[in-house]
Structure 1
Amino acid sequence: MSTMVGNWKMAIADGCMPGDQLSLLNISSGKAHVELTFCAEGGEPLGPFHLTLPAQRTQSPVLEDLVGTDAPSPGLPYSVVVVSDVPVLVQPHPADQRPAA
């Protein structure tokens, strides 16, 4: 479940896990400049990480693809804050529920 916390700022505090994926959909007619910050228990926030989504397109990054070796430990849940300069929709996808590629 995602919760709006301000202008084009969203927090996902569901206890996401490393390997999970976020689907980002830019619903505007212009580019979306998106910033992701990951917050894990007992550690410093990771990020911000920057993505650019073309108009009316989707992108689905995986945590490890963005942060590399700095990713939280595999069993450590995290939350993510998403900030964008235009409206975007965000949907988390747990790693164990993603469709096979």
Structure 2
Amino acid sequence: MSTMVGNWKMAITDGCMPGDQLSLFNISSATAHVELTFCAEGGQPLGPFRLIVPAQRTQSPTLEDLVDSDSPPPSLPYSVVVVSDTPVLVQAHPAAQDAPKWRRPAA
């Protein structure tokens, strides 16, 4: 059972994959105390993982950065629940940034 750090809550349900990065941007002038809980299909939730994001700053953790060796990260897509005591913007970034991009065929 977790103790929520605040009352600002959101979820990313797009199906994050292992290695994906979350960008947390604290838009307020106060320090944000953030909890991340990762939920994969068929498994127990991982977390909550607590982070501190300074005022008007960004942190970009991956699930692998947060999980200890006793709890391997899920190999299936997962969702993330974000709870914070101040508003933060959250965006997921796919791990494969160097993957080939779709190109329009030459005319």
Which structure has greater helix proportion? 1
Aligned residue pair count? 90
Inter-partner Cα distance in structure 2 for 1:23 and 1:96: 15
Matched, 1:95 2:72: no
Amino acid at match of 1:53: V
* Counterpart position of 1:4: none
Which structure has greater strand proportion? 1
Runs of 4+ in 1 over 3 A off after TM superposition: none
Amino acid at match of 1:46: L
* Counterpart position of 2:26: 26
Structure 1: gaps (5+ residues): 1-6
Inter-partner Cα distance in structure 2 for 1:16 and 1:80: 8
Q: TM-score, normalised by structure 2?
A: 0.80
Q: TM-score, normalised by structure 1?
A: 0.85
Matched, 1:77 2:77: yes
> Alignment partner of 1:28: what SS?
coil
Amino acid at match of 1:87: P
- Residues 37-80 of structure 1: CA distance to partner in whole angstroms, max 9, x if unpaired? 0000100000000000000000000110001332112xx10000
* Counterpart position of 2:58: 58
Structure 2: gaps (5+ residues): 1-6, 99-107
> Alignment partner of 2:13: what SS?
strand
Inter-partner Cα distance in structure 1 for 2:67 and 2:37: 10
> Alignment partner of 1:97: what SS?
coil
Identity, % of aligned pairs? 81
- Give the CA deviation at 1:8: 1.6
Inter-partner Cα distance in structure 2 for 1:14 and 1:48: 19
